Structure 1
Amino acid sequence: MLLSRGRCFNYEFINGHVCLRALRLSVCPLLCLLCLILPAFVVAEPLIFSTSNASPFSSEHNPQAGYVNEIIRRAFASKSISTRFEHYPHTRAVFMATQGKTAGVFPLRSNQDHKDSLYYSNPIPGTKIGYLVPAATQVDTILPVKNGDINAHFLRLGLTRIGYITGAPIPQALVDASNIDTIAVSSLSSLLDMLALDRVDMIFADEYLVKETLVNERPHLQGQYRFIEALSRDHPFFLAVSKDTPNAANIIESFNEAYHALEARGEIEEVLKQYGMYEAAPSSSSLTVGVPDINGIKQVIQYLSSHDTPFSQLAIDWRVMDETVLRKRLQGDVAVNQANYDLVMLGNYDVPIWAKKGQLAAFADVPESYDIDDVIGAALTANTYEETLYALPFVAETTLTYYRKDLLLNAGLNIQSPLTYEQLYAMVKQLHQPEKEVYGIGLRSRVGWGQNMALLSVMVNTYGGQWVNQQMQPQINTREWHKAVSTYIDLLGNFGPPNHQDLGWQENQALFAEGKLAFFVDASSLGGSILNPKTSSVAKNVGVTQAPIGTVKRGSQWFWSWNFAVPASSERKQAAQQLALWLTSKALNDALRENYGLYAVLPGTRHSTYDESYQRAIPSASYEYSALRALSHTDTSASAIGKQFVPIAEFTAIGHLVGVQVNMALTKQVSVSEALKTAQYQTTSVMRRAGYIQ
């Protein structure tokens, strides 16, 4: 409801738009006329939908809050209908809609429940739903069968106890079977614990939810299970609108129309791909390559498609997605023993962990023409496990501070070296001019161990903190972490751009290039874009210096590399390795330089990159090259105990959990102290379940 000059308003659906309806009948005809004539200018209340945290479908902590969330928001926005989504536990979310307390609910697996109180949309693409069993279970003889025939197969294999999440669409034939027990549980993490403890024989669940839960909540169980592929089936989602919502039937009809239009324009497929939800299964006739949408990768793909190369005749299925999404998809596949890629781009955190588990094919014979001696030592060491090379570096980076020289000059400010966070805070405060759309600073805030926690980890380092001590005991709820997180929140919360609570490096890079940020602390590999006059309106006014420091000088810069690796499960290893060698070669870098200019060169991996012309054109290059050369073997392999990350498989879950808590503190849902206390408890629980501590 809205109050305006004593009148109380509600919303009404008129001519495809949600419009204000006056409860005083005398003004209703006028409002309706305005809605009909000027629908775009009518102030409207948002439709409030209840939803549950179910990544990657709908989640407070996913990029764009989940793909179903994004599809629904886009569809309504195309009809000029404002929406707002409120997150609840699933049962509560449904209750809110059925009782008319919200306009509707999503995502729902069935369109058959609560039909007396809900209108359902047409299907929205979902994922596969199926049966998760221990990896050693002999299920290869099971063929696709109708639900009613599954029982005999399960009985033969001794799979008589089936767990599922309350409300999941488990086949009725299993529920009705007298010799099979179906056990409903409220959470998937609890179901996975029951499977690990042999309290159920298998789980009926959504494949992506299982993967996300294993990666984010039960990392110590990764690799122990697999789905019965023959019995997995596609299962859609639905949006439901409460029949108590004014013009509910029209709202559903309008959504269906908008969805159909988005689908026709290819926008639905576009959204799905952004979340790694590829409808087509990998083809045996093409090489499937999974990569993050980092600077450089699209230029390389463009070069491949437009120039004659040794791979011009090779069919390559490039699957490009947000780096946080890619990590989840790759780790999720590994978690349930699925093979969907022939070549993948992994970080230097991932390579030794995958190699140790036997999940990567080694690069045993690197040709002399590759010039391995030209590869910078830190990048080579990061891809080596037990003296064997398992990946090849595509780009490498450290951390730098980018700033606007013209803004500092106009304000009479000078950059100190080394720059402290205290000095940075004072300058950011002085240069913050939101009324001119110039904001003091941009920092990564999107949840993810490679997003907000990548920067915060090195901030913690330079304030004297660490992730764990030598006994692997978490050290998060400490004075050092409190100082680092408080500084981060003070900077971003007071002087960050709009929507500062959900910005990744790409959004900040774009804002800086548009002239909307005074300072930007992030990866050195972004210099090519920020300093390129073709992609940056402020290129000539960009200054560069080392990353700020806190109370100690060490640890203020990260080392990171993106590297091409071939999964051991690939059936096209030789072709994949040949492509990886070319994608990381000096020859490709020379070709990019010749065709697209110095700014297109892939940074951080080769000495030959940093010639005089390159360092002169890109001021960040000298800082980057100096830092990368200074990194020793010990620095890169042990960037672990108390530094940028902990080199254990469980760190992905830890980084995600802590990242969520930091983001909640940034958005003032909890205090810094509360966030760190919860993060310490959650991290300790993960480490204890994995057996690192008692």
Structure 2
Amino acid sequence: MQKRRCWNLRPLAALGLCAWALGAQAVDITVATVNNRQMIEMQKLSTHFEKANPDIRVKWTTMEEADLRQRVSADVTNKGGHFDVVTIGMYETPIWAAKGWLREIMPTDAYNVKDLIPTVRDGLSYNKRLYAAPFYGEGSMTMYRSDLFEKAGISINNRPTWEQIRDAAAKIHNPAAGIYGICLRGRAGWGDNMALLSTMVNTFGGQWFDMGWRPQIQSSPWKDAISFYVQLLTKYGPPNAMANSFNENLDLFAQGKCGIWVDATSAGGALIDPKFSKVAHLTAFSLAPTAVTNKGAGWLWAWALAIPASSKNADAAQRFVQWATSEPYLRLVADTNGWAAMPSGTRLSTYQRSEFIKTARFAMTEAIAMVTANPRDATEGKAPYVGVQFVAIPEFQDIGELTGAEIRDALAGKQTVDQALQKAQTRIEQVMRVAGYIK
């Protein structure tokens, strides 16, 4: 029996909530995603999609963030066709779209693409066409234990400085009681430790490249930022901090073992959930810390769903992507797990919902963080690139990986900060010469 499209039917059908003709042969689509809480929930709720779309079966490949980036990059760039839907971000999307590696997302009227937060939509577009649909977006913020701050007689305002964060961490650090002053990303990777460290370098007045694309890794702002970071985690961080990234620090904070954590706003929903967090009612939120400038102090990111050009089931993939990033999906999550569990940071309407604002104490901090982050003006000095916590050039993935590895080794005490930055500077210069940016 011939399959029938449902794109021009009623609004719910346009979001993929329809069944095809009885007897149509089902197809399998494979979704590659990261093992964050929001994605695990999407996997659970995908049974709703399958019930409404009995001609589609969804299979899952779920990985750690670093593993996901490697697997997906290899498959998409080599046109392997193993995945029909991939979870990527604002770095990969425009670069891969320009190379023809992604299929354009074709939103229906019911999808309401104009509701997407403009900075997020822009970051997932190429030539003003959408190539990935945002599943959740995030800035970065400061999360801290209000009870520990009160006990220590300290407070911070809504835009703390890194010096204030250091001083607070020193006062609440109590490893004998199993409480560490601060938790920060230490695991090496352009999307792991370098996501945080790029924002620290920005706010300390530095940048990755000057206007001639010459690396600035040995500049004073880089040395100041990375030295501050290493000393902070060495003195007041948890053991083996170099192994921790988002999920590990999320668990540590939720178990009451971190006094301060600077990371993604997307952690907010989990940290105020008493079913997950032991300190749900004690967690407070502020914007990401600053140093000499506010520019680039907090990052801007969106985990998004894209369809590789090599997908063999692109029509079915389109239907799934639009279902999983739609307003009805957000309501499904809210009905299932509560308003604070909604994947936020994607739609303007999310922050117009009184239920969400009242329940999610982090909502306004997140909204401010995302609105004020400007990828086109994220550094104190002029820079030739777009991006807050990354540089939007194809070579950055390798550059970020090698720099992150050197700084991880400095954090582990295997080398000094100066040695780490000198090695990174030399290797990045080599990469930029080979790529033709500098002579």
TM-based fold match above 0.5: yes
The reply to whether residue 342 of structure 1 matches residue 84 of structure 2 is yes
Counterpart check, 1:428 vs 2:169: yes
Specify which of 371, 374, 382 is matched with residue 629 of structure 1: 371
Cα shift at 1:557 = 0.5
CA shift for structure 1 position 374: 1.4
Out of 391, 396, 404, the position equivalent to 1:646 is 391
**Paired residue for 1:131?**
none
Among candidates 261, 264, 287, match of residue 520 of structure 1: 261
Look up the match of 1:118: none
Q: Is the CA contact 1:353–1:649 (under 8 Å) kept in the aligned structure 2?
A: yes
> How big is the shift at 1:339?
2.5
2:231 to 483, 490, 493: 490
Are the counterparts in 2 of residues 640 and 646 from structure 1 also a CA contact under 8 Å?
yes
Q: CA deviation at 1:323?
A: 1.1
**Deviation of the 1:306 alpha carbon:** 6.2
The structure whose RCO (Cα within 8 Å, separation 6+) is larger is: 2
CA distance in 2 between partners of 1:594 and 1:640 (Å): 41
- What's the counterpart of residue 123 of structure 1? none
* Match for residue 669 of structure 1 among 385, 399, 414: 414
Query: 2:420 corresponds to which letter in structure 1?
Result: A
CA-to-aligned-CA distance 1:224-281 (integer Å, 9 cap, x gap): xxxxxxxxxxxxxxxxxxxxxxxxxxxxxxxxxxxxxxxxxxxxxxxxxxxxxxxxxx
What's the secondary structure of 1:378's corresponding residue?
Answer: helix
Deviations 1:45-104 (A, max 9, x none): xxxxxxxxxxxxxxxxxxxxxxxxxxxxxxxxxxxxxxxxxxxxxxxxxxxxxxxxxxxx
- Asked if 1 retains the 8 angstrom alpha-carbon contact of 2:295 and 2:377, the reply is no
* Structure 1 position 563 matched with structure 2 position 308: no
Matched, 1:326 2:68: yes
> 1:645, CA displacement in angstroms?
1.2
Matched residues in 2 for 1:488 and 1:428: separation? 12
Tell whether 2:131 aligns with 1:386: no
Paired-residue identity, %: 37
Amino acid at match of 2:242: Q
Partner of 1:530: 271
Give CA deviations for 1:293-317 in whole Å, capped at 9, x if unaligned: 1221111111123676423542211
| Equivalent residues of 2:35, 2:63 under 8 A apart | yes
What residue identity is the alignment partner of 1:618?
A
Q: Which residue of 2 aligns with 1:472?
A: 213
The 5-angstrom pairing of residues 360-509 of structure 1 reads 360-363=102-105, 365-509=106-250
Equivalent-residue separation in structure 2 for 1:366 and 1:389 (angstroms): 9
Unaligned runs of 5+ in 1: 1-283
Deviation at 1:334, TM superposition (A): 3.8
Q: How does 1:256-267 map to 2 (within 5 A)?
A: none
Q: 1:539 aligns with which of 280, 284, 298?
A: 280
Give the whole-Å Cα distance in 2 for the aligned partners of 1:312 and 1:401.
Answer: 44
Equivalent residues in 2 for 1:81-480, closer than 5 Å = 285-305=27-47, 309-363=51-105, 365-480=106-221
1:634 and 1:679 map into 2 onto residues whose CA distance is: 24
- Can you list the C-alpha shifts for 1:654-685, whole angstroms capped at 9, x where unaligned? 00000000001001111000100000001111
2:426 is aligned with 1:689: no
Distance 1:461 1:630, change over 3 A: closer
- Write the distance in 1 (CA, Å) between the matches of 2:109 and 2:375: 23
Number of residue pairs matched?
409
Q: CA offset at residue 448 of structure 1?
A: 0.6
Amino acid in the other structure paired with 1:328: Q
Return the letter of the residue paired with 2:61: R
Residue identity in the other structure for 2:327: K
CA distance in 1, matches of 2:77, 2:122: 26
**Residues 506-539 of structure 1 deviation map (CA, whole Å, 9 limit, x = unaligned):** 0101010110000000000110001111110101
User: Any gaps of 5 or more consecutive residues in structure 2?
Assistant: 1-25
Counterpart contact for 2:211–2:384, Cα < 8 Å = no
Structure 2 partner of 1:52: none
- In 2, the alpha carbon distance for the partners of 1:373 and 1:566 equals 21
Question: Could you tell me how far apart the structure 2 residues matched to 1:581 and 1:438 are?
Answer: 43
User: Which amino acid is 1:680 matched to?
Assistant: Q
| Shift >6 Å, 4+ stretches | none
- AA in 1 matched with 2:346: T
- For the structure 1 residues 537 and 312, does the alpha-carbon distance in structure 2 shift closer, same or farther, using more than 3 Å as the test? farther
- Whether the aligned pair in 2 keeps the contact of 1:398 and 1:558 (CA below 8 Å) is yes
- Partner letter of residue 316 of structure 1? V
Give the alignment partner of residue 337 of structure 2, picking from 593, 596, 614.
Answer: 596
**Cα contact 2:254–2:278 (8 A) shared by 1:** yes
* Contact 1:432–1:495 under 8 Å retained in 2: yes
Distance 2:371 2:436 in 1: 37
Aligned to 2:356: 614
Q: Distance in 2 between matches of 1:667 and 1:597?
A: 40
Alpha-carbon distance, 1:400 to partner: 0.3
Deviation at 1:351, TM superposition (A): 0.2
Query: Separation in 2 of the partners of 1:346 and 1:654?
Result: 18
Structure with a larger share of its residues in strand: 1
Which protein has the larger Cα radius of gyration, Structure 1 or Structure 2?
1
Would you say the 8 A contact 2:203–2:295 is kept in 1?
yes
Q: Tell me, what secondary structure is at the counterpart of 2:188?
A: coil
Change in Cα spacing, 1:329 to 1:495, as seen in structure 2 (3 Å) is same
TM-score normalised by the chain length of structure 1: 0.57
What do you get for the CA RMSD once the two structures are aligned?
A: 1.8
AA of the residue aligned to 1:550: A
| 1:632–1:465 Cα change, 3 Å | closer
AA paired with 2:222?
W
Asked whether the equivalents of residues 180 and 236 of structure 2 are also in contact (C-alpha less than 8 Å), the reply is yes
Conserved 8 A contact 1:289-1:317? yes
Corresponding residue of 2:13: none
Q: Contact conserved, 2:77 with 2:101, CA < 8 A, in 1?
A: no
* CA pair 307-347 structure 1, distance change in 2 beyond 3 A: closer
Cα deviation, residue 375, structure 1: 1.1
Provide Cα deviations, 1:487-523, integer angstroms capped at 9, x if missing partner. Answer: 1111111111122121011010101011000000000
Partner of 2:308: helix, strand, or coil?
coil
Distance 1:417 1:655 in 2: 30
Task: Give the TM-score normalised by the residue count of structure 2.
Answer: 0.90
